[in-house]
Amino acid sequence: MKHLISLSDWTSEEIVEVLDLADRLKYENKNRIAHNHYLRGKTLGMIFSKSSTRTRVSFEVGIHQLGGYALYLNASDIQLGRGETIHDTARTLSRYLDGIMIRTYKQKDVEDLAAYGDIPVINGLTDELHPCQILADLMTIREKKGKLKGLKLCYVGDGNNVAHSLMIGCAKTGVDISVATPEEYTCMDKYVNIAKQIALETGSRVEILTNPKDAVKDADIVYTDTWVSMGMENEKEKRVKVFAPYQVNRELFSLAKPDAIFMHCLPAYRGYEVTEDVIDGPNSVVFDEAENRLHAQKAVMVKLMADYA
């Protein structure tokens, strides 16, 4: 476990190990027990090509609580991949930092930073994957349901980076997942195939559907995301029309199990992908999920950046 590029690179045991540590760090946080300063003297460089609320705040607060320091690096300031090659950037930053978190567009940029540098690289989000979010999601599901294996998660909406990482994370931990998207916005075959191969090994199930009602039926968790991700604003009018049948409203949510929970990685656009009565309803856990970004990411940083056993 040297980097967090994709959850497909981690074993099921490594994922559970990080979730267990995240639970412990959250317990300490809630009970005002000071964390061991696992990252005392360590510096995390945070490269942002895409703006963020939860990612920046959770990483910055998290490493501070662990005794380290976060350095914000705007991608345009360091000319990532423009004035200087990623190869040279990675080698240079490895001389200054103890780890890099990058939130960017191209998956290959993250992979290249990891390949050419000598320090841990954490994928804070790309157009293809969002592993940090899914670790927080799995933490939240286990917190609310008491287990992972044998549950059914339904994802409804755009076949995007969150859907890709959800498929992989669920398959790795034995959660069945049904993904319902419009045909023209389905998940990338590459990640569907990776998830299905993992599912064969763990005994879970990965379903790719177009009918949201079929996907939601008897689900333990119903999950959605924005229909218009950052950089796609010019497609908003078209997307709103195409995705309208995929809105998670009270009628669709009622097809899940009575004790199903609702999840959303946020930010949410109320009245579009989800109605207010669902996201603000008694089954919604979206703010617990958002909080758990802090604890899950602290666990990732400890595992990757500290000499921790």
User: Is 225 part of any known ligand binding site?
Assistant: yes
User: Is 103 part of any known ligand binding site?
Assistant: yes
State the chain's maximal CA–CA distance in angstroms: 55
Does 133 qualify as catalytic in the annotation? yes
**Given 154, 170, 187, 265, the catalytic residue:** 265
User: Is 133 part of any known ligand binding site?
Assistant: yes
**Are the C-beta atoms of residues 175 and 151 closer than 8 Å to each other?**
yes
User: Is 130 part of any known ligand binding site?
Assistant: yes
Q: Which residues contact 301 (CB under 8 A, 6 or more apart)?
A: 39, 44, 59, 62, 63, 66, 68, 99, 122
**Given 142, 239, 293, 295, the catalytic residue:** 293
SS3 122: strand
User: Is 265 part of any known ligand binding site?
Assistant: yes
User: Is 182 part of any known ligand binding site?
Assistant: no
**Are the C-beta atoms of residues 226 and 246 closer than 8 Å to each other?**
no
**Are the C-beta atoms of residues 1 and 135 closer than 8 Å to each other?**
no
User: Is 247 part of any known ligand binding site?
Assistant: no
Does 265 qualify as catalytic in the annotation? yes
Both structure tokens of 143:
């917190």
User: Is 187 part of any known ligand binding site?
Assistant: no
Q: Quick one: which of 50, 43, 91 has its CA closest to 67?
A: 43
**Given 98, 112, 130, 137, the catalytic residue:** 130
User: Is 293 part of any known ligand binding site?
Assistant: yes
Does 95 qualify as catalytic in the annotation? no
User: Is 170 part of any known ligand binding site?
Assistant: no
Does 130 qualify as catalytic in the annotation? yes
**Given 98, 112, 133, 247, the catalytic residue:** 133
**Given 225, 247, 264, 295, the catalytic residue:** 225
User: Is 79 part of any known ligand binding site?
Assistant: yes
Peptide bond into 267 cis (omega under 30): yes
Chain mean position to CA 53: 14
Kindly tell me the burial class for residue 109, based on how many C-beta atoms sit within 10 Å of its own C-beta (0-12, 13-18, 19 or more).
buried
Does 88 qualify as catalytic in the annotation? no
User: Is 24 part of any known ligand binding site?
Assistant: no
Q: Which residues contact 54 (CB under 8 A, 6 or more apart)?
A: 266, 290, 293
User: Is 161 part of any known ligand binding site?
Assistant: yes
**Are the C-beta atoms of residues 243 and 273 closer than 8 Å to each other?**
yes
User: Is 230 part of any known ligand binding site?
Assistant: yes
Show binding-site residues for carbamoyl phosphate.
52-55, 79, 103, 130-133, 265-266, 293
Show binding-site residues.
52-55, 79, 103, 130-133, 161, 225, 229-230, 265-266, 293
Active site residues: 103, 130, 133, 225, 265, 293
Show binding-site residues for L-ornithine.
161, 225, 229-230
